[in-house]
Chains A and B, each alone.
Chain A
Amino acid sequence: MVPFFGYIAIFLLWPTIIVIVGAFRSSSGQPTLDNIMTVLGSSTYLQAFWGSIRLSAETALAGGVFGALLAWAVAEGAVDGVFRRQVVAMSGVLAQFGGVMLAFAFLATFGYAGVVTLALHRVTGVSVFTSGGWIYSFTGLAVVYTFFQIPLMVLIFLPAVDGLQVQWREASDNLGGGSWAYWRYVAGPILAPSFVGGLLLLFVSAFSAYATAAALISQGSPIVPLQIRTFLQSEVVLGQANVGKALAFGMVVVVAVVMSLYAWLQRRGAKWQA
């Protein structure tokens, strides 16, 4: 017992407390709100937060929709089929396939000499991406993030789709409901809490991701984790050492808000199912 809690305290709680306390301290150790005010008063930092939130929301939605569709397509098949097992195992690997390796995969696909870039050039005769650099931009980041969001959604959402009973569909058919009526009045409302819950988890996953963005974007910092990188890697302006901690604290706040929403939704969902 004691070793476990001691370990957690040193390697998880202590760093977190350093961040939170540091966000409210001046470089000489006095309590202050200056760091937070610096973040809130700077358009660069606010834009980075807005960029992070937009990126996370967009990729959560795209990944959530495609992932849910894939989960449905898989669940339609045999329950213990080989195909289904492979999709689930592959989702397990691909959902973890982030960071540098994922960035390289997309550079090999859409980069200046990427397979798709070259193929489009050959087929259409013109370079479609006249500035092939879109993959290094915000759009590129969204496309790459969606790649790991889809399998993640499959893993999260598949159990919910499996929970749909065949009898419900039969009952709906017997009562004269078509496909639309079934999805609109039966399956839709049942799946809605799991779907929204999945979206929230995907949001957090994209919001906290750093490695993929760091490997893809070396100049400019459109999202918060990259702003924090700038703080960690460069000599900071005197008296601003703790602004990086204020940024990190801001991330903790956003994640905490989303996770509380998720916990609230889970409680509601549980009550409703009982």
Chain B
Amino acid sequence: MRWIVLAVVGAYLLVPLLAMLEFSTRGVGSTRTLEAWKAIGTFPELLSGIAVSLELAVLTVAGMLCLLVPTMVWVHLRLPGVRRTMEFLCLLPLTIPAIVLVVGLSPVFKLLSYFFGDTALVLAFVFVVLVLPYAYRSIDAGLRAVDIETLSEAALGLGASWWGVLFRIVIPSIRGALLSAAVLSIALVMGEYTIASLLNYNTLQVVLYQVGLRNAAVSVAVSLAALIFGFVLLFVVSSAGSRRRGAAREESTLAPLEGGLQL
């Protein structure tokens, strides 16, 4: 029974992935060719889409860390009463569909393009909100795992400043959690389509779709590459976690993905 389940469900999940490999290497007749993969470089818009998405990922991670880490540490140490409100606000983006957010975002983006000009990078402001639930859960798990109350009191008692505590005590002890928050954010930003496409910005996914209308094999190749990129990122986090904490790893590094809703 167990093996039947594994075979059936496994096939459902794996066949489309293998189909991508087959489709993107299909040649004339029944030959294999890497032409579609080589052609990726001949689509300049594809390369610029990848560049834009990578820049957005960096900005989003930076924004997320600046916004979340000091606030969460402060709440954790000084204002435990605010914790529930903060958790609620951080998880809220999971329940507001991205398509609903887009409908209300146009005045916000008018303001943003007034200040920053016409660049796709302003999307990072919204992406920070999108990654909030995953980043929050990941960092929260990290803060709970170490006794930062005692550590920070000891540091303060020895004359450290509050920023000193933050940078020299707290951040080093939760760096695993920060890494997993960053990786989840990167994965999410690289896969975002809804907001970017409806606000007419050419990110990786938007360009991918446009290229797919003309050359399906190239788009399938890029999709597969992006998927493998995601796998590698997640395995890096997952194995970094297992070196550190052993058996507790999979719950703590992958817990933020629970209830991981739409992209």
A interface vs B, CB < 8 Å? 1, 3-5, 7-8, 10-12, 14-19, 22, 66, 69-70, 72-73, 76, 80, 85, 88-102, 104-109, 111, 113-116, 146-147, 150-152, 155-156, 159, 201, 204-205, 207-212, 214-215, 225, 228-229, 231-233, 244-245, 248, 251-252, 255-256, 259
- CB of B100 within 8 A of CB of A211, answer no
B188 partner residues in chain A, CB cutoff 8 A: 96
* A141 CA / B86 CA spacing, docked (Å): 36
Contact with A along B180-201 (1 / 0, CB 8 A): 0000000110011110011000
Residue of B22, B104, B193 near A108 (CB, 8 A) is B22
Q: Is the CB of A92 within 8 A of B97?
A: no
Residues of A within 8 A of B96 (CB): 12, 16, 252, 255
Q: B147 to nearest A CB, angstroms?
A: 23
Shortest distance from the beta carbon of B63 to any chain A beta carbon, whole Å: 9
Given contacts A108-B22, A109-B19, contact A70 B9 (CB under 8 A): yes
Residues of A within 8 A of B261 (CB): 204-205, 208-209
Those 8 A-B pairs whose CB atoms lie nearest each other, nearest first: A15-B104, A208-B97, A108-B23, A101-B223, A18-B104, A211-B193, A109-B19, A209-B262
Per the bound structure, the CA–CA distance linking A179 and B241 in Å amounts to: 37
A162 nearest in chain B by CB position: B251
CB of A108 within 8 A of CB of B19, answer yes
Q: Is the CB of A66 within 8 A of B12?
A: yes
User: Residue of A at shortest CB range from B193?
Assistant: A211
Also in contact, A97 and B230, with CB within 8 A (given A104-B219, A152-B260): yes
| B263 interface hit (Cβ, 8 Å) | yes
Nearest Cβ in chain A — how far from B41, in angstroms? Answer: 19
Instruction: From A92, A115, A159, A228, give the contact of B234 (CB < 8 A).
Output: A92
Contact, CB under 8 Å: A232 / B100: no
B208 in contact with A3 (CB, 8 Å):
no
If A69-B9, A109-B16, A115-B23 touch, whether A12 touches B193 (CB-CB below 8 Å) is: no
Question: Within 8 Å CB of A11, what residues of B?
Answer: 108, 125-126, 128-129
**B13, CB-defined interface residue at 8 Å:** yes
Q: Which residues of B contact A70 (CB under 8 A)?
A: 5-6, 9
Check B220–A104 contact: CB distance below 8 A.
yes
Q: Is A16 in contact with B101, judged by CB distance below 8 angstroms?
A: yes
Binds A, one of B87-95, B113-121, B138-146, B161-169: B87-95
**How many angstroms from the CA of A209 to the CA of B16 in the assembled complex?**
20
Chain A residues whose CB sits within 8 angstroms of the CB of B13 once the complex forms: 90, 94, 147, 150-151
Q: Are B250 and A88 in contact (CB under 8 A)?
A: yes
Known: A80-B247, A93-B231, A96-B260. A215 touches B100 (CB 8 A): no
Query: Which chain A positions have C-beta within 8 A of B238?
Result: 85, 89, 92
Residues of B within 8 A of A8 (CB): 89, 129
Complexed CA–CA distance, A150 and B11 (Å): 12
Q: Are the CB atoms of B194 and A211 closer together than 8 Å?
A: yes
Nearest CB in chain A: distance from B179 CB, A: 15
Q: Which residues of A contact B227 (CB under 8 A)?
A: 93, 97, 101
Q: Across the interface, which residues of B come within 8 angstroms of A99, CB to CB? A: 191-194, 205, 263
User: In the complex where A214-B197, A225-B99 touch, is A89 in contact with B234 (Cβ < 8 A)?
Assistant: yes
Known contacts A88-B250, A109-B16, A214-B193; is-contact A248 B262 (Cβ 8 Å): no
Residues of the A chain whose Cβ atoms lie less than 8 Å from the Cβ of B15: 109, 115-116
Provide the bound-state CA to CA distance between A159 and B6, in Å: 18
Known A-B contacts: A96-B257, A100-B223, A248-B104. Give 7 more (CB < 8 A).
A3-B71, A11-B126, A19-B103, A70-B6, A116-B15, A225-B97, A244-B103
A107: contacting residue among B9, B197, B216, CB under 8 A: B216
Among A88, A99, A100, A256, the most chain B Cβ lie within 10 Å of the Cβ of: A100
B51 interface hit (Cβ, 8 Å): no
What are the residues of chain A within 8 A of B262 when measuring CB–CB?
Answer: 98, 205, 208-212
Contact B6 A92 (CB under 8 A): no
List A contacts of B209 (CB < 8 A). Answer: 100, 215
Q: Please report the C-alpha to C-alpha distance between residue A65 and residue B92 in the assembled complex, in whole angstroms.
A: 27
A245, chain B: closest CB distance, angstroms: 6
Given contacts A19-B100, A19-B103, A256-B95, A155 and B71 within 8 Å (CB-CB): no
Q: How long is the Cα–Cα vector from A16 to B107 in the complex, in angstroms? A: 12
Alpha-carbon separation in the docked complex, A228 to B234 (Å): 33
A1 B74 Cβ-Cβ under 8 A: yes
Q: Mark B218-245, 1 if CB is under 8 A from A, else 0.
A: 0110010011001100110010001000
